[in-house]
Structure 1
Amino acid sequence: MRNDKKPQADAAATACRPETPEEHAARLVDAVSALEELAVAGGIASIPDPSAWQREIREDRPLPGRGD
């Protein structure tokens, strides 16, 4: 049986390549810019109270070895 598939890049090697300092700095600048735009826009309109939203979505679980 012949394998006609093209060889694919090793995903693990590609995904684990360390960032260069320049790539890291550019990624941080992009992230800060996006957060600044969000802040200027007044935040996320669908979340009027971020603290309440966080409490509602948190999924606490019992700690191992501790009863109710």
Structure 2
Amino acid sequence: MTPSQCRAARALIAWSQDHLATSSKVAKATIANFEAGKRAPYDRTLLDLRQALEAAGVEFIPENGGGAGVRLRKG
């Protein structure tokens, strides 16, 4: 997951950094620094963030020639 994917995922589900922090059990400062490109979190931290966002209905789209992205899960 890239910083821009994280920001876009939160926007899709109207989550603040505080909400993501609570849902993922990751510190808000870690999320803010990651999204600002100031820090690369541990793999486990990225997994925690991704799982929280996926549980809320976000799908991560891999790099496939058009760039990595996010979308809402159907249905």
Give your verdict on TM over 0.5: no
Please report the TM-score for the alignment, with normalisation by the length of structure 1: 0.31
User: Whose radius of gyration is greater, 1 or 2?
Assistant: 1
Bigger strand share: 2
Higher relative CO (Cα under 8 Å, sequence separation at least 6) belongs to 2
Please report the TM-score for the alignment, with normalisation by the length of structure 2: 0.28
